[in-house]
Structure 1
């Protein structure tokens, strides 16, 4: 079917019949419906991209992890001090449900899936008395950006009705590096690798379905009739096929020999190509191979480092987008001078907690940072007496005159 279509398409081009239809769509027609043709013949869309096992694993790793990261509202204090704010309406919204029927964690996770497969995610802000009280996720396929005016607006279609919403009432989460008029869609940009992963997964399934790859061959120099072949196959499978017959003693008739099949060089190349495709998709999403099932180079020593890299290079840019977008719609310009929103990654870096605390201890014990400066790094409120440097025996006050410091030594 595929070869016939290709031959017909080639013939149409040679005859100069360039007119396109839904039966023979052009790339432009594919793009009109949100689809992207690939060299492998698989069309990658936001829905079909998740048929790729590697893409599904990468999307789940980012969306489920970032969706579970706590996001809190903080108040700026004097001298860089910060403390958790709980009285502001945005604080309750960030820490609780975003709607009566949807919690904050599940909504952020779903929006991250939207952003990864569609390139952008949206939520509508519901206000009472001008204060934000709810956030409702919107299907990104039902939202269109309107850039005709001086400020961007959004056309939102729900239940067949279209309404215009200002940018202050739309939470928009785009891929880091994209702009409102130039969104970046990772599944579109990596569609060739995603399509190849889908094709190879389907090929692998067909290869092993219904025992498509035999475990061995019965060999004989005799000529056999079709009836004899059928009888031998039935007898062999009834005695040795299936898990309950595994390991039974094999008795062969006169002149027969059993030869087990091993992986060929072609099989090895298939596995190597499959591994390369997994690495390609992982690179596109900036996800360590260990999170998408590629354990080839994983060791006990480097998994913790890979997780730290995952947080810093993959999750942190997304978190910055979330933080700035939430501040834009939940806080007024005046409030942003006092409050800020931050995602907390402490639980993800728990394995490195001892190293961080050891560095803090050395910094304060070395008369370099005060306890309150250390506490500010972790968004903890200052304590009484925490503004004094802790000096070891024989160390002089850092603010003391030079002659006093010399005398102290």
Structure 2
């Protein structure tokens, strides 16, 4: 006969075992930590960023002055040379924008120090996002902040700041923060594929023994096993009497690797609003895909850059009538030609409602 309290004791013991098992699972299955190095190892991530970088670099920045409704392009301003050619730093303008755009997408923040002498901008210096600290004020309405680099404090107007998904104008959120799950899935798939390549695609399994193996036999088996799964010519092992290989069941992940890669790549392209065909390299991208890429991926970034330049690169007295702009005629050339053709057809058909 069991005493009444013995059942409670068994239940309590079972509960403690479940808690211990849950704790063990929590410690072994940890959340993936995707940093920028891992993210840039994902081909779709680096491909999207490179495509956007190369597109932006082809667009020269210009300065305009509007007076009484008339817009005049300003040429020869020293600031244009800094933005388009030589920053007077170790980076040229093309390298400067590459670094700024990479930080923008990955970290959500990109910073550059504006070196001024008596209201004249002499040089522009890219600063790594990790080297910048922001000390924000506590007022949620009249927001203010200081920028710290290497223990030195700087005011907001001393830095060019381009942010993504920002709520204060100085700190943003990059895909490493907002989309870490899909990046982890893609990166882990890449690691899994790398393991398959290293092992030559050999099937996984385990060794069954009729009797307990001694330590020398175990060590010999491990050595042969490592040789089999290494990248060399010896791709077989000899099993002694009483040992047999039991193949483990194939997982859905392994069987659907190629389909998963395509799906993951398409999902990552959505983060950058880049049509997947733009990265395919198979010639399937058409004019419509290119137009979507320019209008949905590139132009919003250009708008963010211009907003930052008009805020931080102009003097207060200039802000009412001067503004920066990108020359995007070449990017939109196909779209403009379509409009002219449509207008021409309308004229021929005596229909000018275009």
Match of 1:61 in 2: 51
Shift of 1:269: 2.1
Change (3 A) 1:359 1:179: farther
Aligned match for 2:318, one of 319, 331, 335: 335
Match of 2:237 in 1: none
Contact 1:57 1:291 in 2 (8 A): no
| Residues 85-234 of structure 1 aligned to structure 2 (within 5 Å) | 85-148=74-137, 152-158=144-150, 162-176=151-165, 178-180=167-169, 183-209=172-198, 211-213=200-202
Contact 1:40 1:196 in 2 (8 A): no
Shift of 1:136: 0.4
Change (3 A) 1:315 1:148: same
Rounded Cα–Cα distance in structure 1 between residues aligned with 2:342 and 2:87: 38
Aligned match for 1:281, one of 268, 278, 300: 268
Contact 1:49 1:194 in 2 (8 A): yes
Match of 1:293 in 2: 280
Rounded Cα–Cα distance in structure 2 between residues aligned with 1:363 and 1:177: 44
Aligned match for 2:63, one of 64, 73, 76: 73
Rounded Cα–Cα distance in structure 1 between residues aligned with 2:97 and 2:52: 11
Change (3 A) 1:82 1:363: farther
Contact 2:63 2:74 in 1 (8 A): yes
Change (3 A) 1:274 1:103: same
Change (3 A) 1:320 1:176: farther
Corresponding position: 1:306 with 2:289: yes
Contact 1:123 1:137 in 2 (8 A): yes
Rounded Cα–Cα distance in structure 1 between residues aligned with 2:108 and 2:62: 25
Change (3 A) 1:363 1:176: farther
Corresponding position: 1:52 with 2:39: no
Match of 1:323 in 2: 306
Shift of 1:78: 3.8
Q: Deviations over 1:295-332 (max 9, x none)?
A: 6xx73xx6211111111111111111100111111112
**Secondary structure class of the residue paired with 1:102:** coil
Rounded Cα–Cα distance in structure 2 between residues aligned with 1:285 and 1:9: 43
Contact 1:86 1:92 in 2 (8 A): no
Rounded Cα–Cα distance in structure 1 between residues aligned with 2:19 and 2:197: 34
Q: Deviations over 1:199-220 (max 9, x none)?
A: 1112112223353359xxxxxx
TM-score using structure 1 length: 0.61
Count of residues paired in the alignment: 289
Shift of 1:268: 5.6
| Residues 242-253 of structure 1 aligned to structure 2 (within 5 Å) | none
Contact 2:160 2:308 in 1 (8 A): yes
5+ long unaligned stretches in structure 2: 1-16, 204-231, 234-250
Corresponding position: 1:349 with 2:339: no
Corresponding position: 1:82 with 2:74: no
Rounded Cα–Cα distance in structure 2 between residues aligned with 1:293 and 1:144: 39
5+ long unaligned stretches in structure 1: 1-7, 19-23, 26-38, 215-236, 239-263, 370-409
Q: Deviations over 1:210-235 (max 9, x none)?
A: 53359xxxxxxxxxxxxxxxxxxxxx
Rounded Cα–Cα distance in structure 2 between residues aligned with 1:181 and 1:101: 24
**Secondary structure class of the residue paired with 2:122:** strand
Change (3 A) 1:187 1:68: farther
Shift of 1:154: 3.3
Rounded Cα–Cα distance in structure 2 between residues aligned with 1:142 and 1:100: 17
Contact 2:160 2:313 in 1 (8 A): no
Rounded Cα–Cα distance in structure 2 between residues aligned with 1:137 and 1:266: 42
Contact 1:152 1:166 in 2 (8 A): no
Shift of 1:270: 1.9
